[in-house]
Structure 1
Amino acid sequence: MGEKSACGVGLLGKLNGENLLQSEKYAFELLYTDSVKEMEERIRSTNPRAVIYNYHFFTSPWIEDSRLRRKFSNIVHVMLHHDVTQQMINTYKPRKNFGFKYMVTANPTLKGSNNVFLVNRLAPPFKPKPYVDSGIPKIGFHGFGVPHKGIHRIAKKVQEEFDEAIIRLHIPPSYYGDPDGNLARCRVAEVMGIIKKPATKVETSFDFSPPEKVVEFLGENTINCYFYDPLPGYGLASSPDYAVAARRPIAVTKSHQLRNFIGLTPSICIEDNSLKDIISFGVEPLQKLYAA
């Protein structure tokens, strides 16, 4: 998988890779690299039966080089892909997918095929501390500061529904999309421009925290919100997986990236219910995700 794991694709690949290390049936090794040469050297030194590549066209384009598949044709090469559509599955052919015979995607909303296998999403294996209700609603968000995350929508909903609240934003830098944190600071400025009520406070943090700290942060919130743009054709978002692990209420928009949360009962979509209503549901709507 890519050496620069400071993105959703890298973190999801790391989570799946570390889970495979626990297998009692197969012996796995993890390699963090962005080099075809280093990948070839590891294949020669370990002589594996299979290689799984953590792929995204933007973060790991070097994986598109098919020379390794041709050079080591006796090995099963598998692509872990994060932006998969049903049409891609229905028309899948190895020669049109960089020589990969098989593809795996962590998207249970799709239907697999003989070449494409679906796996459930993995929540980070960390437990939050017990939630303490301070009497003031804490509305949380964790993710990168790119505009399509819809962070401004969280501020608007809080402004509409609450006279007193704390908006807690954890917006780390993105190695690929926001290395200097400029976008993160822009999102915070947008939020500050929306909030007008003096009893509504905004707390921010920008460090790239380890997964267990992210789960702890989300577990301290009354509710965690992901109000993404529609984003048709995008793969499932990985940030909300941490909110699932935090075992606190979650509110989402009906974004294509959040379609694994759409259809839960009662609805946690902000188009259907208010933040106050979704908070009142507790974690009941999320039980299906906990059991996956």
Structure 2
Amino acid sequence: MAAENLQDCLRLQLLQLSDSTPFKALALELVERFLDILAAQDQVKLMRKLAVSEAKLAEIIALVRSLDPQPGRSIEQSESEYIVPDLFVFKVGGEWRVELNPDIAPKLRVNPFYSGMIKRADNSKDNVNMKEHLQEAKWFIKSLHSRNDTLLRVGRSIIAKQIEFLEHGAIAMKPMVLRDIAEELELHESTISRVTTQKYMHLPNGVIEFKYFFSSHVSTSAGGECSATAIRAFIEELVSTENPAKPLSDSKIADLLKEKGINVARRTIAKYREAISIPSSSQRKRLL
């Protein structure tokens, strides 16, 4: 059986419950008539519309929350997709090391038997053609080695600049742009962009895309810089520990960051918050 929308989905699930289920009728009324008020977290209005006490409303909402807004997921069949990291980052003897993943850098070589035959053969048209193919094969292998060498150099440069991130997490991420790596390795910025696109590192805390390490920055009161990644981590940390009944507004979060010496405008907080899929304070406010 299919549902037309979220409201219909919840209604159908409630209808399947036993009539003896506590607060079933009121939960149905809430879903059918006042779902928008529930989404707005307007507890007082819900109590008035349903003519119930605060305690009863809590029970009704608990019943609605026990429903599955996406029941199709339990029968959905999908194959898991795995990311194969290009580099492995690990700590040995207190020192961070970066190595290529051997699975993405297979050892290729030209068969010496055939290359020897080509070198000893005459200058016939067929053999000249084979010599050209041999040269192309050598260039191809050389290009792969060059690509892997550049990838490893870029990875090591990134990790050398982000040791604090490895030790303390996203809050310690330093501001860094492509140009910083390009200048250090004496490569063009476009080369760094190409090398870091859809490339991944395997770290002790998971697989992370190269691009994650690059972010803009804001100034601190001490005259330093704080990366956008670190600011997003601060926002996540503050929201995770807030009082659900009185969630932090963007202005309050900006004030708390200012106390840490990080000067961020309220609208910037809103932008970062939305980027990490954190709802506004009014949407985060819980009725229970």
TM (normalized to structure 1)?
A: 0.22
TM (normalized to structure 2)?
A: 0.22
Which structure would you say has the larger Rg? 2
Q: More helix per residue: 1 or 2? A: 2
Q: More strand per residue: 1 or 2? A: 1
